[in-house]
Amino acid sequence: MKQCFACVQALGSLPGEKLARVLEIISEGANALATGGSAEEVELDIDMLDNATLFKLDQYTTEILAVRRLLMSGLTVVSP
């Protein structure tokens, strides 16, 4: 539960341009339930995501936020 909460917080702090990949990861999960009436807002029941999807989301958000912290600290990041 604690890890799920951390993942939700990390998702909320991602820059907008990274959210498309989040939606791709979620849609890859077989039992993902995401609803919403527009492209502007999507409601997600995070408790319905399987562990594999949560793990992928955690990896993705951790990577993006780590790069963001490095950039903010003035270090140069080289993309693979």
Can you list the domains of the chain with their CATH numbers? Answer: 2-72 (1.20.1270)
Query: Which tokens hold the place of 13?
Result: 């702090």
Q: How many CB atoms lie within 10 A of CB 56?
A: 19
What is the rounded distance in angstroms from the CA atom of residue 69 to the CA atom of residue 58?
A: 16
Query: Which tokens hold the place of 54?
Result: 């949560």
What pLDDT sits at residue 5? 75
- Is the whole model's pTM more than 0.75, yes or no? no
List the one residue out of 57, 59, 32 whose CA is nearest residue 43. 32
Task: Map tokens 């029941």 to a residue.
Answer: 45
Q: What angle do CA 54, 58, 63 make, to 5 degrees?
A: 155
Regions of the chain short of the pLDDT cut 70 = 1-3, 30-42, 75-80
